[in-house]
């Protein structure tokens, strides 16, 4: 199983257009690599690919990676796309894929409902881009030889659909993790997760590799940096650090572990940061755009 990280950053990207935080300024200056918004590609043969989440940066991501260049007059190596929630960083890229080349789109009914409610997505022809509703916990073929299954992980409705009160640990069809199996390997992709529950630990116990939500280093990061007013918890994202954080909670998982969907404020972006050193010393990898992993 082959992976290509198309976008390692969370919503907003690195740098984010309106952000003058330390990391965004470093990325703008070319002192740390820039990163696009959240997306991971997977393939068995390196020829046919599936993309997990439609990043708003997908056009540039495909231009930057030769694996995604057309091989004939109208073509894409992308056979299918799967969405793990309805947030803008995971669906807006569909609008850049509207030029009538077929691929199969997979998501839960609830996430497909978000697309159906927003008429702008009608620009993506249903005839060319089939919208396939997937059932929680049921296997389906994402591409030849590659089986997928989605399962609920604690999360919330998309930011643009939030009401006055927001439940941040909903378990249902709005936020899912993905299990991929093929070529004798098992992978999990969970770019958004509010909490590591016992159910989740059981679910991922057969993983060879785990790509996991690395949005924030700590819960108060955006408030402390002055870039936001919300905690990680309020945004539906578990933090990396701390006794309730993902490193501690996922310590027993023996798979190769990689953080993805990393917010631009996260200190793990900086090569010389203590936080990055801690993550690496804990046995985790940190994804970057263009990162390739073969199992």
Binding residues for Zn ion, rule: CB under 5 A, are: 19, 21, 24, 264
Preceding omega of 15 cis (within 30 degrees of 0):
yes
Q: Taking CB under 6 A as the rule, does residue 54 contact ligand MLT?
A: no
Strand partners, 117: none
Closer of 1 and 24 to Zn ion (Cβ): 24
Q: Which stretch binds ligand MLT (CB under 6 A): 67-75, 86-94, 128-136, 202-210?
A: 86-94
Closer of 12 and 182 to ligand MLT (Cβ): 12
Minimal distance, residue 265 CB to ligand MLT, in Å? 12
Residues 88-107 that bind Mn ion (CB under 5 A): 89
Helix (H, G, I), strand (E, B) or coil at 60: helix
Q: Taking CB under 6 A as the rule, does residue 159 contact ligand MLT?
A: yes
Residue 24 binds which entry of Mn ion, ligand MLT, Zn ion, none, CB below 5-8 Å type-dependent: Zn ion
The answer to whether 207 touches 169, Cβ cutoff 8 Å, is no
**Stretch 49-88: interaction string toward Mn ion, x if CB under 5 A:** --------------------------------------x-
Task: Determine which residue in the list 36, 154, 155, 192 makes contact with ligand MLT, applying CB under 6 A.
Answer: 192
Minimal distance, residue 84 CB to ligand MLT, in Å? 10
Helix (H, G, I), strand (E, B) or coil at 47: coil
The answer to whether 157 touches 144, Cβ cutoff 8 Å, is no
Helix (H, G, I), strand (E, B) or coil at 116: helix
Helix (H, G, I), strand (E, B) or coil at 201: helix
Q: What is the arrangement of strands in the sheet containing 2-7, beginning at the earlier edge strand?
A: 129-134, 103-108, 78-82, 49-52, 39-43, 2-7, 292-294
Q: Which residue is nearest to ligand MLT (CB)?
A: 11
Residues 6+ apart with CB under 8 A from 71: 77
Residues 6+ apart with CB under 8 A from 277: none
Q: Taking CB under 6 A as the rule, does residue 235 contact ligand MLT?
A: yes
Chain residues binding ligand MLT by CB under 6 A are 10-11, 87-89, 159, 192, 235
Chain residues binding Mn ion by CB under 5 A are 10-11, 87, 89
């Amino acid at each position: 199983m082959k992976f290509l990280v198309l976008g390692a950053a969370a919503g907003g990207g690195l740098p984010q257009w309106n952000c003058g935080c330390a990391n965004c300024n470093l990325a703008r200056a070319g002192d740390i690599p820039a990163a696009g918004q959240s997306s991971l590609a997977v393939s068995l043969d390196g020829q046919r690919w599936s993309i997990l989440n439609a990043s708003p940066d997908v056009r540039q991501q495909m231009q930057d990676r030769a694996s995604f260049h057309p091989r004939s007059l109208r073509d894409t190596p992308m056979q299918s796309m799967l969405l793990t929630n309805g947030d803008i960083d995971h669906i807006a890229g569909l609008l850049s894929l509207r030029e009538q080349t077929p691929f199969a789109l997979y998501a839960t009914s609830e996430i497909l409902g978000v697309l159906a409610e927003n008429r702008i997505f009608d620009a993506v022809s249903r005839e060319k881009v089939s919208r396939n509703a997937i059932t929680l916990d049921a296997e389906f073929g994402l591409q030849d030889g590659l089986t997928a299954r989605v399962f609920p992980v604690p999360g919330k409705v998309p930011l643009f659909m939030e009401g006055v009160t927001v439940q941040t640990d909903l378990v249902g069809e709005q936020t899912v993790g993905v299990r991929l199996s093929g070529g004798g390997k098992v992978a999990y992709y969970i770019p958004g997760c509010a909490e590591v529950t016992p159910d989740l630990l059981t679910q991922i116990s057969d993983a060879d590799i785990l790509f996991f939500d690395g949005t924030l280093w700590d819960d108060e990061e955006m408030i402390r940096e002055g870039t936001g007013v919300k905690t990680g918890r309020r945004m539906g994202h578990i933090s990396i650090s701390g006794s309730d954080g993902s490193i501690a909670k996922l310590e027993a998982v023996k798979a190769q572990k990689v953080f993805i969907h990393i917010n631009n404020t996260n200190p793990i972006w900086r090569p010389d940061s203590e936080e990055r050193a801690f993550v690496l010393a804990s046995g985790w990898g940190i994804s970057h755009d263009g990162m390739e992993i073969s199992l």
